[in-house]
Amino acid sequence: MPGFVTATLALRPQPDGPRMPSTITPLPHLAILRAHGPQAADLLQAQLTQSVQNWPEDTARMAAMCTPQGRMLADFLLWREDDGGMAMLLDATLAEATLKRLRMYILRLQCKVDDVTPERALFGLLLPHGETLPAGLHCPAAPWSLLREADRCVVRLADAPGLQRLLLVAESPEARTAAAQWIATMASGSTEAWSLSEIRAGIGHVTAATAQQFVPQMLNYEALGAVDFKKGCYPGQEIVARTQYRGTIKRRTYRLLSPVALAPGDEIIQSADPTQPCGLVVNAAPAETGWEALAELKITATTEAGSLHARTVDGPALRLATLPYTLPPQD
């Protein structure tokens, strides 16, 4: 896939879990911004970690928007719409601030950025391997590819162990009516199950609780193809590049298992150094037993003697679990 560091990704075998039906879930916690106009690509090219130029129309990509200090303000799933506009999916808690920031950089560019969330309907589909979609829906062939038909877009996201994950975007009243028919024929999912699939896919997302906390590499974003190191400048580019090429990546995102509920921004403490946090929870969701989370941690906290705990050194013990991809070898 153009622009993606696919060589760093390697699926690991996972134990089979309980068999589940295909599910469809509304995603009200997400928002869609739309950049459109003759110079919309120029705006995003200058602001995001991802290149938006010379981009195949059947491809979706991840990206981040950073401060000049390289800290992530928001992250996106990007795809092109039929008219050449760029759709930008992000956490709804960040939509207003992100929209305001992007508009600040338009200046004399011939483009606009709008929040089109009220005009779209978003659904997440979880499809166990071997299951098929209802008639009228088609699954893109590979992760990060998309199919567009009849005012709807289906993006295949990164798989979770045992699951294909699809994003369905209905862009018109007619497409929303069709989506209602599929909802009637598929099992209803939950936002918690969708969030759990994101965690098991190893993809962390910035929320209002964690904005400006992470350099992209701390969330494994270069391993996920969300950073293009060959593109031109953008806010924070110097810091992101220096972190990459000078081997100064000291923190990474890991998957954790917890016996208690966790929330974005919760501190993680390592027993060998209880005087300061060793990391933060990025995202969390209830699982079949307990909770699962993605947490940004000091790499040394995962390799040295000691145990990980939620919030305080006397808090519940946390266990490391596997990610579905291999981190780059410099770690």
What's the confidence (pLDDT) of residue 19? 59
Mean pLDDT of 116-136: 92
pTM of the predicted model as reported, rounded to 2 decimal places:
0.92
Which stretch, 46-50, 126-130, 175-179, has highest mean pLDDT? Answer: 46-50
What's the confidence (pLDDT) of residue 16? 44
What's the confidence (pLDDT) of residue 5? 34
pLDDT digits (tens, 9 = 90+) for 230-268: 998 999 999 999 998 887 789 999 999 999 999 999 999
At 157, the pLDDT band (50, 70, 90 cuts) reads very high
pLDDT digits (tens, 9 = 90+) for 27-41: 999 999 999 999 999
Is the pLDDT at 331 greater than 90? The verdict is no
What's the confidence (pLDDT) of residue 9? 35
What's the confidence (pLDDT) of residue 198? 98
Domains of the chain: 20-200 (3.30.1360.120)
What's the confidence (pLDDT) of residue 330? 56
What's the confidence (pLDDT) of residue 125? 97
What's the confidence (pLDDT) of residue 13? 37
pLDDT digits (tens, 9 = 90+) for 284-328: 999 999 999 999 999 999 999 999 999 999 999 999 999 999 988
Mean pLDDT of the chain: 91
- Secondary structure in 3-state letters for the chain: CCCCCHHHCCCCCCCCCCCCCCEEEECCCEEEEEEECCCHHHHHHCCECCCCCCCCCCECEEEEEECCCCCEEEEEEEEECCCCCEEEEEEHHHHHHHHHHHHHCCCCCCCEEEECHHHCEEEEEEEECCCCCCCCCCCCCCCCEEEEECCEEEEECCCECCEEEEEEEECCHHHHHHHHHHHHHCEECCHHHHHHHHHHCCCCCCCCCCCCCCCHHHHCCCCCCCCCCCCCCCCCHHHHHHHHHCCCCCEEEEEEEECCCCCCCCEEEECCECCCCCEEEEEEEECCCCEEEEEEEEHHHHHCCCCEEECCCCCCEEEEECCCCCCCCCC
pLDDT digits (tens, 9 = 90+) for 27-83: 999 999 999 999 999 999 999 999 998 888 899 999 999 999 999 999 999 999 988
